[in-house]
Structure 1
Amino acid sequence: MILTSRPFPFDADKEFAERTSSGASGVNILCLQEAWMMPFAFCTREKSIGRTIYLESVISMKARITWKEIPGHPVFETAYGKIAVNICYGRHHPMNWLAFGLNGAEIVFNPSATVGELSEPMWPIEQTATLLGSINRVGTETFPNPFTSGDGKPQHADFGHFYGSSHFSAPDASCTPSLSRYKDGLLISDMDLNLCRQLKDKWGFRMTARYELYADLLARYLKPDFEPQVISDPLLHKKSL
């Protein structure tokens, strides 16, 4: 299930009630969007140094919550499938999806808080190579004090419109209808966790992948003396007679 969240201020009791009631709809796995119960804190300046808030996911299994930071690309085995969480900007890096897949993820959730014309065109197509729940914040939050976003634009009081459009997609490029761009919503979908395995077998990905070559390239790329493997047309460097 996917839930989006209306911008602040909101009724916290009502929000929790809506999420708690999702179980009555038969929801087995609940995923919320990034920073769902707080303002978009990256737009605020603290008056004093206080508690540090980390960008990390919290996985609750059998009423127990994992607070410990786990490095790498962990996959969590639950009674309802092996799940992974690729937070927001991580979706732009294909190696993240590959790493979760190699670790055996059956479904990956992408909780996000993203805005603007740069990312929205990519939103419906960027994650269609995996069984995925794409969850985005929705609405516009206005802050009392103007701020800059490091984009060269004048100070402004909002970060932009969080365009929602949360959806589920599958590795066969199929996709559910998206939720609204403008209002809070709830999306419930049955997911076939066998689809990833079936598609890998049908396309022969395990047989045709060249992981040893990818690993060698990445190992060389990390070295300071890395030289790209580029084969140039000899005519490009031939001196004119």
Structure 2
Amino acid sequence: MISAAALCGVNIICFQEAFTMPFAFCTRERLPWIELAESAETGPTTTFLQEIARMNDMVIVSPILERDETHGDILWNTAVVISNSGQVLGKSRKNHIPRVGDFNESTYYMESNLGHPVFETKFGKIGINICYGRHHPQNWMMYGLNGAEIVFNPSATVGELSEPLWPIEARCAAVANHYFTCAINRVGTEVFPNEFTSGDKKPAHKDFGHFYGSSYIAAPDGSRTPGLSRIDDGLLVAEVDLNLCRQVQDHWGFRMTQRLDLYVSELKEVIEPNFRPNIIRENK
């Protein structure tokens, strides 16, 4: 069953965050959920989808919970990119880990060590900005600097936490970075056997709340598709014209005027221990 997915031109499909399993890692229950972690390269989900990709001449973006067997079984929130030839083209990992309410994921997997890879496929250059990374404009920006034409945002997020931001963030990123964005969110509610608390002095509970769906695709000119249902499973299909990326870039020129040299100089100062904000005050 597909809770949410975006299909671009019937050639690239991206599923919701961790689509092969309940989204349960950030509760206090590690088991049995953590046992569903698998290898990004040779795990059962990847192996199954490799054949699907080859048979249908389709690129598949498959978000999973990765068990990195090469590096001590470390867990990562990962999206595997499978080429239309059936080969594993590579993977992208979640750069920013939430520590908000029930979504405290820092005890389940690590922040990415892969940066912002962009994958050149037969159907376009794609990046994957996983879930919470959409709240960070610099995260979106780096995929653009690395040449992305489409950036997928596979997510699993609930109404109380982020719904007011949902229609805005991916659309703004598309405009600012001259690429298409695909905002993908699941639907439904997970209910767990044991109650858990959120450290906010509210009563213990057994669910996160409602995952509100509403998946959509936004274009670099600011236009967007209607959203999928808030309550029902869905598959969003859209045909995108990648020529629009360059056309909008030439028209608005944000890339040409972005002054990276200015920001890299100031950001170097910000990360120093002795940094003080550049605030000018009146002498008294």
TM-score (norm 2): 0.70
Within the candidate set 168, 171, 174, 2:217 is matched to 168
Aligned pairs for 1:1-241 within 5 A: 4-5=2-3, 27-42=10-25, 43=27, 45-46=29-30, 52=67, 53-61=75-83, 62-66=85-89, 71-128=114-171, 129-130=173-174, 131-232=180-281, 234=282, 237-238=283-284
State the Cα distance separating 1:118 from its structure 2 match. 3.4
> SS of the residue aligned with 1:30?
strand
CA contact (8 A) 1:88 1:110 kept: yes
Which amino acid in the other structure matches residue 29 of structure 2? R
Runs (5+) with no aligned partner, structure 1: 7-18
CA contact (8 A) 1:75 1:100 kept: yes
Which amino acid in the other structure matches residue 264 of structure 2? A
Moved more, 90-99 or 217-226: 217-226
State the Cα distance separating 1:213 from its structure 2 match. 0.4
Q: Distance in 1 between matches of 2:250 and 2:31?
A: 55
Alignment RMSD: 2.5
Q: Distance in 2 between matches of 1:68 and 1:138?
A: 25
> SS of the residue aligned with 1:205?
coil
State the Cα distance separating 1:127 from its structure 2 match. 1.3
Moved more, 204-213 or 124-133: 204-213
Q: Distance in 2 between matches of 1:41 and 1:65?
A: 26
Residue by residue, what CA displacement relative to the aligned partner does 1:19-54 show, whole Å, maximum 9, x if unpaired? Answer: 9xx99x961001000011111122352358866542
Runs (5+) with no aligned partner, structure 2: 38-66, 68-74, 93-112, 175-179
CA contact (8 A) 1:4 1:136 kept: no
Moved more, 174-183 or 110-119: 110-119
Q: Distance in 1 between matches of 2:158 and 2:2?
A: 14
CA contact (8 A) 2:9 2:240 kept: no
> SS of the residue aligned with 1:173?
coil
Which of 1 and 2 has higher RCO (CA within 8 Å, sep 6+)? Answer: 1
Q: Distance in 1 between matches of 2:2 and 2:183?
A: 10
> SS of the residue aligned with 1:188?
strand
> SS of the residue aligned with 1:208?
coil
How many residue pairs were aligned? 218
CA contact (8 A) 1:59 1:65 kept: yes
